[in-house]
Each structure stands twice: as C-alpha cells, then as structure tokens.
Amino acid sequence: MKVKYKAIYEDMRNRIESGEYQVGDLIPDEITMGRRFGCSRMTVKKAYDILVNEGYIYRRQGQGSFVLSHSLKNEKKIEIQERDLTGFSRGTQGEGQAKLLRFQLIFANEEIAQHLKIRVNDPVYDILRVRLLKDRPYVIEQTYMPPALIPGVTEEILNGSLYTYIEETLGLRIGAAQKTTWADKSNEIDQQELWLKETEPVLVIEQVAFLDNAVPFEYSISRHHYDLFRFSVYSVRH
C-alpha cells in the first residue's frame, strides 16, 4: 500500500474488526496517529473520514473519535446480508456455491443496450446462475456484460471470481455501482429454482456496475428468495 491514508484506514479498520477496539472505545486522536504513522493531521483525517462514511466510527469536536456498533457495518451476515457494495470490496460475491445454468453470447436488446451504453444488437455475455448456501438456492442471477470491455470470460472464470479476473487479470479498476431494489411476485422460474410457493415473493436487485472511467461494464438482475436475503445500507449525511 503506497498511499498513506489508505494504510491508516486499513490498519484501523482491521483493529476495529478484530475487536482490538470495542464499541464505544476512543481511538487515537489525529496528532497521536500522525506521529505513529509519520504523517500530518490531514492525512489521518482523510483515513478517519472513510471510516465515518462506512459506519465504523463517529467523531465529535472536543471529544474524539469513537467506535460504532458493529451492527452498522454488517459484514457478518445473519442469514445472507448484502452490504452496499460489499459484493465488490470483500464478501458475498463468489461466496457459497454457484450453479451455472446458461453461458452464451447474445445480441443486446434495447434494455441491455441502454444500461450498458452500447448499441442494440452488440454482442453481450448472457450469464444465468443460481447461488446456493448450504445447498439451498437463494438467488437467481442474470448478468449481461459486453465482451468488448471484458474479453476472455470462460466457464472456469465464472466458477471462480469474476471480479478478481476483471481487476487483476485484465487490470481494470471497478469504480461504482447503481443498485435499485423492489419486491415482486415470484414467477414460475423463481418458484422452481428457489423452491418458492406461488404466494411467496422475491426481492429483485437491478445493478449497473461501472469501471472507474464511468463506463458501465455489467448489467445484472438478481431475484432473491424473500426469506433468505436482506439488503443493508448505511449512509452518512454530508
């Protein structure tokens, strides 16, 4: 880690997650931390501000920086709990088993083209997977990606980590994601694949993921078993 503020951020995050600092604990002030890492106050502040945004700590003038309740950053999920962007950083993506139902190239339709900002009939990967946890299916994941941006995807890569492939093998940097979620009645496929009764609903999450140059590279629609998935977000006022 060549960047100082990220080193400080990672260090403190690890200490909080490992339990070295407990809920309510005061963590070192900026000047102390600056001496410890050999850097200025501003650099420590930048690191701490990320921790604030992610719900690890809160800070008060005149008092200090305190560790927040662990329930705010739900890395450890009770059932399956997806945290905002966790799919990227560390966690759920690739967790548990996955069953590949379909992997082919198709022509983009209007909707896909619009989300991926490509032309209608441009080629896209069409990937359909069911993810399992303890042999129970909990989500059907439909993914579209343009091979022009993400070349060389194989079944093998899909069974491993697609995001590792994109970042490490292709050397691309993932920047942001837009997720929209709603409830829906289950359809026949949902019922079959997720072991749902007709009356049981699904939680739908539509995601568009972007590279750090704002080019969309993935459009996906996930349909989750209503009782096996919860989606959490923590957000701080600016």
Partner DNA sequence: TAGTGGTCTAGACCACCGA
Partner DNA sequence: CGGTGGTCTAGACCACTAG
Residues in touch with a copy of itself (CB under 8 A): 9, 50, 53-55, 58, 60, 66, 68, 71-72, 81, 84-85, 88-89, 174-185, 198-203, 212-214, 224, 226, 229-238
Q: By CB under 7 A, which span of 39-47, 82-90, 101-109, 144-152 interacts with DNA? A: 39-47
Q: Tell me whether residue 63 or residue 104 sits nearer to DNA (CB atom).
A: 63
Which has the closest alpha carbon to 96: 74, 73, 71, 77?
A: 77
54 binds DNA per the rule CB under 7 A:
no
Q: Tell me whether residue 130 or residue 170 sits nearer to DNA (CB atom).
A: 170
42 binds DNA per the rule CB under 7 A:
yes
171 C-beta neighbours (distance < 10 Å), count = 7
Distances (CA, A) of 183 to 98, 179, 180, 191, 229: 23, 14, 11, 15, 12
Whether the CA torsion 27, 32, 37, 39 is positive or negative: it is positive
- Binds DNA by CB under 7 A, chosen from 62, 151, 152, 171: 62
24 binds DNA per the rule CB under 7 A:
no
- Binds DNA by CB under 7 A, chosen from 22, 63, 69, 104: 63
* Minimum distance from residue 51 beta carbon to a copy of itself (Å): 10
- Give which of DNA, a copy of itself, none residue 71 binds (C-beta under 5 to 8 Å, depending on kind): a copy of itself
59 binds DNA per the rule CB under 7 A:
yes
CA-angle at 139, arms to 70 and 143, nearest 5°: 105
H-run or E-run covering 110: helix 110-116
d(CA 42, CA 66): 18
